[in-house]
Structures are given as structure tokens and as C-alpha cells.
Amino acid sequence: MGEIGFININNVSRLPSQDAIEEECKELGLPEGELPAFEDNGVYKTLYGHQETCLHMEVSNDSRYIASCDTLKKINVVTWPNVFNMQSVCLEHSLPIQYMCMVGSEVVASISEPNPGSK
């Protein structure tokens, strides 16, 4: 699954130590390479909603929205800081997304790859 993580710099000191993380992984029986969630301590927040690799993310000028796109030609727009509040999903691209950006505070512009052989 594709995901984007956000760390609250003001609360970094609350992140657990490497030893504490390893101990929690053992207690939870997590597979090698998987980490426990840090959302509960207010330090880390994960933006979900992509089933494949995230290619790009952009924050609106007023910091109210986050737009992100993935390799499945999908664009999600969520609110910030409540990243579970989905505002919009764009599935209109028939070709892979080459670039995406926020224009102002409420418009997302995106560009697909050109058709093979076109100029």
C-alpha cells in the first residue's frame, strides 16, 4: 500500500527509542521490517488511500488540503490535519500521471504522460 507520513516536529522528542520500537515489534509479533503505529502519541500521522506507490503530494496555499497521486493514475484530496476527511478523488487519467500541483487553495492541476509516439 502506498502511504505518506507526516511527523510533528514539535513532538519529535516523544518518538520512542530504537530499543523501545524493537521491543514493541516483538510484543506485537510484527513481521521483519514492519513498524508499530505512532499515530497514538501525536507525533506521526499517516495519509492512507493509495493502493500503489505515491508519486507526489502537494499542500494547498492555505494549508487546508493535501493532494496526492499514485502510480494507479489516482489523485486524492484530503483535509489537513484530519487526513481521513476525503474531499475528492480523481480517476479520470487514462495514462500515468506525470505531474500534479495545487493551484491556489482549491484547484488541483495534473498532467498525464503523452500517448506513445505523439509529439
The pLDDT tens digits of the residues spanning 68-90 come to: 998 899 999 998 888 888 899 99
On whether residue 119 sits in a domain, the answer given is no
**Domain membership flag for residue 14:** yes
For residues 31-47, average pLDDT: 70
Mean pLDDT, residues 48-76 taken together: 87
- Whether the predicted pLDDT of 55 surpasses 60: yes
pLDDT of amino acid 41? 64
In a domain, 85, yes or no: yes
Q: pLDDT grade, residue 38 (50/70/90)?
A: low
Q: How many helices (H) and strands (E) does the chain have?
A: 1, 8
The radius of gyration of the chain's CA atoms, rounded to the nearest angstrom, is 17
- 41-45 long-range Cβ contacts below 8 angstroms, 24+ apart: 41/11, 41/14, 41/15, 41/16, 42/8, 42/11, 42/14, 43/7, 43/8, 43/11, 43/12, 43/14, 43/15, 44/5, 44/6, 44/7, 44/8, 44/15, 45/5, 45/6, 45/8, 45/81, 45/83
Number of separate domains in the chain: 1
Question: Is 41 inside any structural domain?
Answer: yes
pLDDT, mean of residues 90-107: 89
Q: What is the mean pLDDT of the chain?
A: 81
| 12: in domain | yes
For the cut 60, the answer to whether the pLDDT of residue 17 exceeds it is yes
Domain that holds residue 27: 2-112
Instruction: For residues 51-72, give the mean pLDDT.
Output: 88
115: Cβ–Cβ under 8 A, 6 or more apart, which residues?
95
The answer on pLDDT for 98 being more than 80 is yes
Q: Are 67 and 76 in contact (CB under 8 A)?
A: yes
Is position 30 within any domain? yes
